[in-house]
Amino acid sequence: MLFNSYEFLLFLPCVLLLYWLFASRLAWQNVLLVVCSYVFYACWDVRFLALIIGMTLVGYAGGRMMEALRHQPRRERAVCMGGVVLCLSVLGWFKYYGFFTDNLARLIHAFGFTADLPTLNIILPVGISFYTFQILSYVIDVHRRKIPACRDVVAFSAFVCFFPQLVAGPIEKAQHLLPQMQTPRRVSYAQFADGLRLVLWGFVKKMLLADRVAPFVQAVYGNPESDGTDLIMATVLFAFQIYGDFSGYSDIAVGTARLFGIRLSRNFHLPYFSSDIPSFWRRWHISLMEWFREYVYFPLGGSRCSRLRHLRNTFAVFMLSGLWHGAAWTFVAWGIFHACCFIPHVLRRPVRPAPPAGEVQRSRSAAVIAQLARTALTFVLVCIGWVFFRSESIVSAFRHLRSMVSDVHFHTPYGGFSTLYPVVFVVAVEWLTRHRAHALDLPPIGLLRYRAVRWALYYALLFAVAYWGGAQSAFIYFQF
């Protein structure tokens, strides 16, 4: 069931109505959330309900067992490792079996041997990467004694399968979301209205931005004869397509959760306004990078070690992040590229002390120009990375990059410059509201002080989404 579908527009109000009818009964609310989340998930493929239920029970039982073995550290650690290995094995089977067997066969063939490895046509369960990481966070946090083991299997199931963020995040850590499933929830009119505004802006980014530019990106990247001019335009459009698609989903998920009195983590924070690559990754897919930082980067030593180990830790995180996105070398190359972009920030010298009083400082205009130049350079680097992410293979990615440098012609790009109109609109709105919680968190100044003006704006955006929105399509990150 897609968020941008008529089925969801009918499904959500019905669930909300039943949910708030049980406002004084937390257990019934949780049961309703679990049942409705399973219905939501079954709309994709009912066969995989058994998988998510099974993995939920594994995580729940693992937490209870670790709590019972508190005074037997070795057994408790073994249970934790068993739960982690089991979850990763299930994820690896569905997501990476074909990738590894194919590459192993190629490696054996390179040494002059033949291999008849078994091949299976395995269907990837939607959202498996997201809910697996949530279960892992719970198992590890219980072992670290950051949270107590959950005794309510229904509340734990609601934590794993909460439908707004089930299939594409944000990836919630147990210490943030699970307590909300165990305590009574309330929502004020202001919170409910803010959730609806955030949902509306998510639809704007998904349907007016991502879905509008997607056909042009597909046409250029799907044509081997595309020249450098078209590829440059298509790459810029893809940068905003994937941003509008994924951050739009996240806004809808976070906004929908607020309607239920549940606070989800912010997953994007204006990433293309970043002035360097580390800043970009503090603003892009925040929940995933926080997960890797806490459960991979810090255990490896983080940055509090030698620079060589710091580089190793950085490359490990980004290679795993690339592989998490998909079983293809293009995603691994994308991760390695971003790790390479981190090298100057890892190796740079310590910050110099502040200049003495009276020393001539750069003018404000020079500082602004330097900031804009750094932001533009960061965006170019991110777009180079997106070429690997979008291409069918590493060879085709390098071919595209070569064309962008050597095969540039002065002509109107495919689709014309009008394809940039949605990009300009979204960027302008987010720049003007960059100090607000989100784009439709409008400041009560000027004409916006009047409710009629604000509602006219909301209805205008609804009309634009309905009238100019692109063709209904699944969200890009559903495949991950």
Domain that holds residue 97: 6-185
Burial class (CB in 10 A: 0-12, 13-18, 19+), 410: exposed
What integer is the mean pLDDT of 159-188?
91
Among the residue ranges 72-76, 90-94, 445-449, the one predicted with the least confidence is 445-449
Same-domain status, 250 and 316: yes
DSSP for residue 463: H
* 289 within some domain: yes
Q: Are 172 and 160 in contact (CB under 8 A)?
A: no
**Residue 359 falls inside a structural domain:** no
Q: Is 439:429 a contact under the CB 8 Å cutoff? A: yes
Contact of 213 with 240, CB cutoff 8 Å:
yes
Taking the CA atoms of the chain, what radius of gyration do you get in angstroms? Answer: 24
Coil, helix or strand for 72?
A: coil
- Give residue 360's pLDDT: 46
Residue 361 lies in a domain: no
- Structural contact between residues 433 and 270, judged by C-beta atoms closer than 8 angstroms: no
Domain end (from 149, 166, 185): 185
- Asked whether 5 and 471 are in contact (CB, 8 A), the reply is no
End residue of a domain, out of 185, 205, 220 = 185
Q: How confident is the model at residue 362 (pLDDT cuts 50, 70, 90)?
A: low
| Whole-number pLDDT of residue 480 | 60
Half-sphere exposure of 292 (CA within 13 A, CB side): 21
Residue 358, in any domain of the structure: no
Same domain, residue pair 199 and 216: yes
Give the model's pLDDT for residue 356. Answer: 56
Residue 353 has pLDDT above 60, yes or no: no
pLDDT at 477: 66
325 tagged catalytic: yes
Query: Rounded distance, CA 248 to CA 202, Å?
Result: 4
The continuous run of DSSP H or E covering 432 comes out as helix 421-432
Other C-beta atoms lying within 10 Å of the C-beta of residue 163: 24
Do residues 224 and 122 share a domain? no
**Are 223 and 79 in a shared domain?**
no
Q: Which amino acid is at 320?
A: L
Residues 262 and 299 both lie in one domain:
yes
Query: Does the pLDDT value for residue 406 go beyond 70?
Result: yes
CA 443 to mean position of chain CA atoms:
28
Catalytic residue among 143, 285, 325, 438: 325
DSSP string for residues in 115-155: -------PPPPTTHHHHHHHHHHHHHHHHTTSSPPP--HHH
Residues 18 and 129 in one domain: yes
pLDDT, position 279: 94
- Domain assignment present for residue 109? The answer is yes
In a domain, 265, yes or no: yes
Residue 429 has pLDDT above 60, yes or no: yes
Q: What is the DSSP letter of 207?
A: I
Q: What's the chain's average pLDDT?
A: 88
Pairwise CA distance, residues 323 & 319, whole Å? 6
Output the pLDDT for position 363.
67
Domain assignment present for 300 = yes
Residue ending a domain, choose from 163, 185, 207 = 185
Residues 174 and 307 in one domain: no
Q: Do residues 211 and 307 both lie within one domain?
A: yes
Judgement on whether residues 19 and 51 belong to the same structural domain of the protein:
yes
Q: What is the pLDDT of residue 195?
A: 94
Clarify whether residues 161 and 255 are in a common domain.
no
Burial-class residue 411 by CB neighbours within 10 Å (0-12, 13-18, 19+): exposed
Contact yes or no for 30/177 (Cβ under 8 A) = no
Residue range 268-282: mean pLDDT, rounded? 94
177 and 227 both lie in a single domain: no
Per the structure block, which two tokens stand in for 15?
């669930």
Q: How many domains does the chain have?
A: 2
Q: Work out the pLDDT band at 277, boundaries 50, 70, 90.
A: very high
Same structural domain, 126 and 194: no
222 located within any domain: yes
Query: pLDDT value at position 478?
Result: 64
Residue 274 and residue 57: Cα distance in Å, rounded?
A: 41
Higher pLDDT, 477 or 180: 180
